[in-house]
Amino acid sequence: MDFSLEPEIVALKKMVRDFAEKEIVPHAAGWSERGEFPTSVFRQLGELGLMGMLVPEEWGGMNAGMVTYVAVMEEIGRADQSVAAAWNAHSTIASLPLVMFGTDEQKERWLRPLAEGRNIAAFGLTEPGAGSDAAGITTRATRTEDGWVIDGAKIFISNAGTDMSLGVTVLAQTGTGADGRKQFGAFFVPKGTPGFEMGEPLKKLGWHAMDTRELYFANCFVGADHLIGDPEAGLTQFLSALDPGRISVASLGLSLSQAALELGVDYAGIRSQFGRKIGEHQAIAHKVADMATQVEAARWLVYRAAWLADEGLPYRKEAAMAKLFASEVANRVSSAGVQIHGGYGWMVESTIARFYSDAKILEIGEGTSEIQRNVIARIVLSGGAGR
Q: Which residues make beta-bridge pairs with 186?
A: 171, 228
Q: What does the DSSP assignment read for 126-195?
A: -BTTBSS-GGG---EEEE-SSEEEEEEEEEEEESSSSTTEEEEEEEEEEEE-TTS-EEEEEEEEETT-TT
Neighbours of 39 (CB within 10 A): 14
Start-to-end Cα distance in the chain: 16
Distances (CA, A) of 131 to 78, 230, 269, 365: 28, 22, 43, 9
Asked whether the beta carbons of 61 and 184 are under 8 A apart, the reply is: no
| CA-angle at 103, arms to 101 and 107, nearest 5° | 95
Instruction: Look up 366 and say whether it is catalytic.
Output: yes
How far from the centroid of its chain's Cα atoms is residue 240's Cα? Answer: 15
Rounded-to-integer distance, Cα 372 and Cα 356, Å: 22
Distances (CA, A) of 15 to 60, 152, 287: 20, 43, 31
Rounded-to-integer distance, Cα 86 and Cα 27, Å: 16
* From 197, 363, 366, 370, active-site residue: 366
Asked whether the beta carbons of 334 and 352 are under 8 A apart, the reply is: yes
SS3 of 364, please?
A: coil
Supply the residues annotated as catalytic: 366
